[in-house]
């Protein structure tokens, strides 16, 4: 299965230590946000991107309410290694991909 650039970006960022969480907004809809390590502003991730990574088995959530945290699975960690995420020297700019 070939990953889209947005999916690759999320896997790389998770491998670098960013945190992906789902949050409920005031309308009850789920929003997915990537939180950087440095405490900077979170980046929104499209629901379709998260869904694709879940369906492919690259991420899974801790199933907590109201804010679930998504982590790389063993399969996701292997993918991150294939993408060279561990070799990245600095943060990957995901803006525009997610």
Within 1-98, where are the H helices? 5-15, 47-55, 74-82
Q: How far apart are CA 66 and CA 83, in angstroms?
A: 31
Tell me what pLDDT residue 87 has: 47
Beginning with the edge strand found earlier in the chain, give each strand of the sheet holding 30-35 in spatial order: 43-45, 30-35, 19-24, 68-72, 59-61
Q: How far apart are CA 84 and CA 63, in angstroms?
A: 28
Answer whether residue 95 shows pLDDT above 80: no
- Domain-located, residue 92: no
Answer whether residue 97 shows pLDDT above 60: no
Instruction: Please write the tens of the pLDDT for every residue from 16-73.
Output: 999 999 988 788 888 999 999 888 999 999 999 999 999 999 999 988 877 899 999 9
Structure tokens at 5: 């650039």
- Domain-located, residue 12: yes
Q: State the total domains in the chain.
A: 1
Tell me what pLDDT residue 85 has: 72
Query: The domain containing residue 55 runs over which residues?
Result: 5-86
Q: How far apart are CA 52 and CA 4, in angstroms?
A: 9
Structure tokens at 63: 């199933």
**Hey, is 45 helix, strand or coil?**
strand
Averaged pLDDT, 78-82:
90
Tell me what pLDDT residue 86 has: 59
Cβ(21)–Cβ(32) below 8 Å: yes
Averaged pLDDT, 65-92:
78
- Domain-located, residue 30: yes
Q: Does the pTM exceed 0.75? A: yes
CATH number reported for the structural domain that contains residue 18 in this entry: 1.10.10.10
- Domain-located, residue 58: yes
Under the banding of pLDDT at 50, 70 and 90, the label for residue 1 is low
């Amino acid at each position: 299965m070939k990953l889209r650039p947005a999916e690759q970006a999320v896997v790389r960022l998770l491998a670098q230590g960013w945190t992906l969480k789902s949050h409920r907004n005031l309308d009850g809809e789920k929003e997915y946000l990537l939180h950087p390590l440095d405490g900077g502003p979170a980046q929104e991730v499209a629901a379709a991107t998260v869904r694709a990574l879940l369906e492919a088995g690259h991420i899974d959530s801790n199933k907590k309410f109201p804010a679930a945290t998504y982590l790389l699975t063993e399969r996701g960690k292997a993918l991150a290694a294939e993408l060279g995420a561990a070799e990245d020297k600095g943060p990957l700019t995901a803006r525009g991909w997610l």
